[in-house]
Amino acid sequence: MVLKESFRMQNYLTELTQQAMLFLSEPEHVMMTKKVHLYSQGRPDKEDAVTVVRESEMDAGKVIDLLMDLLAEKEKLALAINRAKTSAPRDMDASLAANKTRQEVIRRFMVLARLKASESESFGKDYYMTPAGTQDTYMYPVKTIQTIDFDRNKVKGIIKRLQKESDAVSSEIDLMNLTLEVDYEPKYEPGEPLEDVYEKFCADADSSGLQ
């Protein structure tokens, strides 16, 4: 499978693992209910009976075995993905991290590029001494002028350059995702619900036990 497919498989195995753990976290899934019907105490001529009930059709012990198998598959796939990435012409993780930073800078610089100079007026208050020697206040207009304190054309140029670099890196990563081969043979089919995976796992286990 190619790298893109392996990521899909990785997500699927993670989803199955979480579902299996959720199943095992429910008491009714991991406990057997045994009821002893003491008929003889009410009717001496009737024999007692025992009923055993499992709330789920899936056996907890086999789900535990399935979970362990899923963990092993996740590790196997992770190692295969790592080997594939190592053979790539560029460090994919580092490139993705760098692109994320580029996009953050682009978003910030786009805000800067949209800034405009502005003027506004308000009023201030000041104090003065009257001829009688008392303090009084008076109001006066205040004009506030804000101007751009950086080269906006330079910022716009940086945005274009970073976007071009980001697009180029993204295209290269997309190509690697579609062409890099991951040496992994999938054991499970993405999209199958946990119940179907459980049934196949049990069938394979029974088949192996017969051989």
Q: Running DSSP on this structure, what letter comes out for residue 2?
A: B
**Torsions phi, psi of 110, nearest 5?**
-65, -35
Report pLDDT for 204. Answer: 87
Specify burial of residue 205 (Cβ count, 10 A radius: 0-12, 13-18, 19+).
middle
Report pLDDT for 211. Answer: 41
Distance CA(151)–CA(36), nearest Å, equals 85
Percent of the chain clearing pLDDT 70 (strictly above): 99
β-pairing verdict for 49-54 and 118-129: unpaired
Per-domain boundaries in the chain = 1-87+180-211
**Type of residue found at 11:** N
Query: Whole-structure pTM over 0.85, yes or no?
Result: no
**Burial annotation 113-152 (CB, 10 A radius, 16+ → b, else e):** eeeeeeeeeeeeeeeeeeeeeeeeeeeeeeeeeeeeeeee
Report pLDDT for 73. Answer: 97
Paired residues of 128 in beta bridges: 136
Contact predicate 40/46, CB 8 Å: yes
Local structure of 145: helix, strand or coil: strand
Report pLDDT for 74. Answer: 97
Helix 60-86 crosses helix 3-24 at what angle (to 10 degrees)?
160
Residues 86-111: pLDDT tens digits? Answer: 999 999 999 999 999 999 999 999 99
Q: Is the pLDDT of residue 6 over 70?
A: yes
Residues 125-161: pLDDT tens digits? Answer: 999 998 888 999 999 999 999 999 999 999 999 999 9
Residues 33-46: pLDDT tens digits? Answer: 888 899 889 898 99
